A = this chain, B = another copy of it.
């Protein structure tokens, strides 16, 4: 799978053929910043998507689900209001935003999607979308496009950095296809089937059904493997578009695997960028659980450790407080064998056979203080299943951001 060292934001990325992006300061919540992003495909794009499994789903998520299977030409993405818990009015607003975009860009009906993040429960200020989308359409007519980075910035909420990734893929018939992705999200991150918002676009020519399979294949190692605070959003959406502008199809099993791998790399890169930018985070923590009875148990233990406040505050304090990790594994519900468990901290084994091993604590604290990336591995000692998750530490700053981020 992807090399973790390659997961920093790709700051200079090139859009695949046949896509353009636009941004605008619509004043939805924030003043003096771009808060609306529009992505246009010159051709109808095959569309795949995965969404939050929260039983409460935001209006834009409902709209995006309805349109699965339709060819898509436009994404309209706002920050500042999540359009969630807004009832029937919210659903009408999401549909209306898509309609305005379809009208302004002269696109077929139901070819636009509306996506939102921000505060839950505030109505979408529809009156601000019409002039904004008209201005964007007129800029587009004049050839004034924005850069991929502009787009990545326009969709941010509490994010501190824009999140982008790309891979280019030469396949069997010597043609090149491009995959390029954007994500936003820093808090309320504990996706099951998706994360906050991610958009991945490619110029590959592929059917929606095959596109959906490729998207699902990449989920387990990317958006479903991260957590910042254990809170699953009402708005999580990962949207994947393929507009075929490269005039290139996947002709053999090898091509398909190469595409899926490149796509999975883009997805994992975006997911890790979300964790790195986790609210208040000072560390990226990789939790590897091995030796589990089955995958469910490995997931249970890894997720409980990744979400434990005591574990996360210890990481913030550069404290190798391994006892908290053993404790969490114990209550996670996963089966374990205390006498066979092993815990590795920065590649050093520090607990085995039910008891702590001697280690140089001061040296470990020094090493922890010097690194922004920590890996711990816990072997449960009962089987062969494993699971890797990515999480953050928990800092004062997280509390500050979320106590002050006003509803």
Instruction: Answer whether A310 and B356 are a contact pair too, CB < 8 Å, given A119-B323, A231-B327, A233-B327.
Output: no
Chain A 289-326: CB-based contact to B (< 8 A → 1; otherwise 0): 00000000000000000011110011011011111101
Q: Is A87 an interface residue (CB 8 A)?
A: yes
Asked if residues A231 and B187 are in contact (CB atoms below 8 Å), the reply is no
Q: Of B316, B319, B321, B338, which is within 8 A of A56 by CB?
A: B338
A141 to nearest B CB, angstroms? 38
State the CA gap A90–B402 with chains docked (Å): 41
Whether a CB of chain B sits under 8 angstroms from the CB of A348 is no
Q: How far is the CA of A229 from the CA of B406 in the complex (A)?
A: 23
Contact B394 A87 (CB under 8 A): no
Q: Tell me the residues in window 360-406 of chain A with beta carbons closer than 8 Å to chain B beta carbons.
A: 394-396, 398-400, 402-406
Contact assessment for A400 and B406 in the assembled complex, using a CB-CB cutoff below 8 Å: no
A246 contacts partner chain B, Cβ-Cβ < 8 Å = no
Please tell me if A137 contacts chain B, counting CB pairs below 8 Å: no
Residues of B within 8 A of A87 (CB): 353-355
Give residues of chain A (226-264) contacting chain B, Cβ–Cβ below 8 Å.
229-234
Complex contact B121–A55 (CB within 8 A) = no
A111 at the interface (CB under 8 A from B): no
Please give 18 more A-B residue pairs, beta carbons under 8 A apart, in addition to A57-B330, A85-B354, A231-B328. Answer: A55-B330, A55-B338, A56-B336, A56-B338, A85-B326, A85-B355, A87-B353, A90-B355, A120-B323, A121-B351, A188-B310, A188-B324, A230-B309, A231-B309, A313-B402, A314-B402, A324-B407, A399-B399
21 contacts between A and B (CB under 8 A): A55-B338, A56-B329, A56-B336, A56-B338, A86-B355, A86-B356, A87-B355, A119-B323, A120-B324, A190-B331, A231-B309, A313-B398, A314-B402, A314-B403, A317-B402, A319-B403, A319-B406, A324-B407, A394-B399, A396-B396, A396-B400
Task: Write the residues of chain A forming the contact surface with B, with a CB cutoff of 8 angstroms.
Answer: 52-57, 82, 84-90, 119-122, 187-188, 190, 192, 229-234, 307-310, 313-314, 316-317, 319-324, 326-331, 334-336, 338, 351, 353-356, 394-396, 398-400, 402-407
